[in-house]
Chains A and B, each alone.
Chain A
């Protein structure tokens, strides 16, 4: 490994990891739930359209909803059983508002549908690998849930030369990737090699935080004899931010507003690489994922392999329930995850953890005045001035906040975490970004309306003009005819 290739990360915080709660607990398969609630939108992009009807019998891994358009992902049956409903069900979103969801009643057999397994996945054309990844419904499992096949295709077309596999897992509590790397390193490495092959990258780097020595050792052992480099990076939050990891590993920064592909980099999560291996080599679509169940209020924190669509309650029940009434339920990690409004909400493809936190763990007293201590400035991994942005947003001066870099904020929450005045800084920024997109939408709408109105008046003018011209032509023709007639009369 080239030491010169490693670069000191900027900003960041060191929150209490709490990973010890679940790090030593091997992944166990959650017993099959009776009912699964599978949302049709679990990814960035357009929602999938159901291809089964209520009452249909389905097999595990069978396509139940097809992707729509260029950025979308299909959804597969997480187990065998019967489709009992196709309607709205509470979404894994802070609002808990209902979204189109397919409800599946398990038949308890968990029977896989037949799948074509290639003799040698590496003999497949790169196009074909990307197609199979897309058909398997794989999305970024680090939490972003962006359709992976889209990323593979963009990367291949733009000539990406470096593949970075994100094993950072910098969020406190979460240990799902850590466990997966310890237990399924071979599968992850096979997946990395498939992506490597599909994109035609020149090098592949796996970045793992140095607080996971077992995972690093397991991955190094599995990568032995391949050209994959496993690199330990300093443990700090947000090391798992793909652009931070990129800078830490190769010392290059993704241009603002750009994509990793702009500097020849493709970043995938370790769990995504594993899912690629499962899909391409074994023909198994993405129907389950590893979820960390943790938090101070959970009796026995666990790492579970969970079928997509399992209600969070089933996970907590399996972990022995709550030792105390949780102060807050969280889906994802505590830094960027969102509140889980109820426990009947299902696990989706992007769910890395479900946490039941106590009051002591949340610890957010009333906000106090900002003392400009600039701890937030030092914590920001992007290089923003959170305190200054917050004052502008509080004064409803959105443009000034944009001028200070609001659009570059990644909402990692480091500033809020360290603020001694307990000001919900990142909340301000998320609010402002919401306002901004509402404003942009309104602007687009206004422009569209204006264009329609302009087009209409242009059209009306044209019609009137054409009518007039036609009338003039008719008049001219008539006059000409009359003149000819007169002339004829004269000659006659």
Chain B
């Protein structure tokens, strides 16, 4: 290690612990003394840098942070309130939209039949008492019931006509063609069409004392037969 390099290292960091540097110090007494002086000088410098710190600085720092935190929480509280309010608003608006839009029974019925294809595959044999049990839990239909078995019932389930809980039955006509029957409790916003059809199914609907009946079946099926059956058994 030459002298220039040594001085550079010594001035750069008198506490240098590298092997080169320490070896150099061990060999050169004068340089060792020089480094010792530099270390003493560093001590002085370090002392000089230690200016007084305001006594309450740490407390001030903590206080400032606490105040800041408090403000943030307050702001977040307001934000949460605003969020809750707007969510409530949206829920309210969409709920009332849902409740007051007219329900087109025929369109909905066709959609249901297309959608629930599995209903037409079911081969259960459900007694009219089970159907009555289901009817009883529908609001607006709790007094209605079948007084006897309306032919074979293959399938029954609740379904939803835009917010109106209804009953979905699969029955059969004279020749065994499956016919879907929807029993919908009477509601002001329901729009009824007596006969309707699309390219796969035809349908008709009629009204009883407190329910709308919608029948949907394939074009070959005899809807009138089922209609009579229902009229005779449902009160």
Q: A and B, one complex? A: no
Interface residue ranges, B against A (CB under 8 Å): none
